[in-house]
Amino acid sequence: MKNIFFIGVGLIGGSFAIDIKNYNPEAVIHGISRKDETLNKALELKLIDQKATIDDLKNADLVIVSIPVDATVKLLPTILDKISDTTLVVDAGSTKEAICKAVEHHKRRRNFLACHPIAGTEKSGPTAAISGLYKGKTNIICEVEKTTFKLQEKALDLFRAIGMRIRYMDPVSHDKHIAYVSHLSHISAFMLGKTVINKEKNERDIFDMAGSGFESTVRLAKSSPAMWTPIFKQNKENVIETLEEYINNLQNFKELMQQDNFSEIFKEMENTNYIKQILNGIK
């Protein structure tokens, strides 16, 4: 695949571009963005070789879409309209059900592979792109059976070449599970950050006391609201379900505190320590 087009050249798209170029130096990387300054910065950082437009997609061998999920839902049918019959289109959205439904009846549905690379940082934009972001990370692929075999094989070869693990899942299950392990984490970080900021108005020394534990916990609160608001909107029902369970656990913890039941609090934390074994098994 020589002509590779990126729609969105921020953290996700830019990091893909770096790794793909390292794997295939002959590839010509084209960038598409609604903001010309984004493309200029991507050129300056050598993330892309050329600027492009949607109409140029007729020349693409591969198109990687890494824009907010609401924009992907709207633009993906047009992207499929513009490509040739041999082009592969891949998205990197954090929700999958709405994106898959947007093109389920498109005549070129077989050219599309729905993906979610589980990788990222709290940073955004072209300057956030880094080499090796995807090494050792899992890429969730949905509805692989709806993508023509030759194109899905090309994608899988590429993902494995840059160090990714592959897992298959249906879009509904993906969105339900990711609400727990990703979306809830971001909400928790944003709300923790809000709580501390509100308190800091009256207690100016609070951030002088913030250590590495607070910094690592609230890190996700630095993530882009422009990216995460559409994710929460598309996955609203699953996110609300996870929030209800989370709030119930917080309320239970509060009640144990009020009851001075610290032996039960110890048991709660001790039982939750099991998550270390789960996470160690994933790595």
68 three-class SS: coil
Are 34 and 110 within one domain? yes
Residue-wise pLDDT tens digits, 23-70 = 999 999 999 999 999 999 999 999 999 999 999 999 999 999 999 999
Least trusted range by pLDDT, from 26-35, 79-88, 205-214, 270-279: 205-214
Instruction: Output the pTM of the full model.
Output: 0.88
The mean pLDDT of 222-244, rounded to a whole number, is: 95
Q: Could you give the percent of the chain with pLDDT greater than 90?
A: 82
Q: Which range in 71-85, 187-201, 208-222 is most confidently predicted, on average pLDDT? A: 71-85
Using the predicted structure, report yes or no on whether residue 283 has a pLDDT greater than 60.
no
Chain-centre distance for alpha carbon 242: 18
Cβ proximity of 27 and 39 under 8 Å: no
The pLDDT value given to residue 199: 75
Burial 212-240 (b: 16+ CB within 10 A, else e): eeeeeebebbebeeebbebbbebbeebbe
Q: How far apart are CA 278 and CA 283, in angstroms?
A: 9
Which residue range is the domain that position 214 belongs to?
A: 173-282
Are 245 and 166 within one domain? no
Are 86 and 105 within one domain? yes
Are 59 and 162 within one domain? yes
CATH number of the structural domain spanning residue 12: 3.40.50.720
Are 161 and 222 within one domain? no
Name the domain count of the chain: 2
Are 145 and 24 within one domain? yes
The pLDDT value given to residue 279: 65
Q: How far apart are CA 85 and CA 30, in angstroms?
A: 19
The pLDDT value given to residue 82: 98
28 three-class SS: strand
The mean pLDDT of 231-256, rounded to a whole number, is: 96
Least trusted range by pLDDT, from 24-28, 183-187, 279-283: 279-283
Residue-wise pLDDT tens digits, 210-225 = 666 777 778 888 889 9
Helix or strand holding residue 223 (H, E): none
More confident residue, 258 or 209: 258
Using the predicted structure, report yes or no on whether residue 203 has a pLDDT greater than 90.
no
Least trusted range by pLDDT, from 117-126, 167-176, 273-282: 273-282
Q: Per the structure block, which two tokens stand in for 192?
A: 């923790």
Are 79 and 186 within one domain? no
Are 183 and 157 within one domain? no
Are 191 and 115 within one domain? no
* Mean of per-residue pLDDT scores for the chain: 93
CATH number of the structural domain spanning residue 182: 1.10.3660.10
Are 126 and 25 within one domain? yes
Are 32 and 160 within one domain? yes
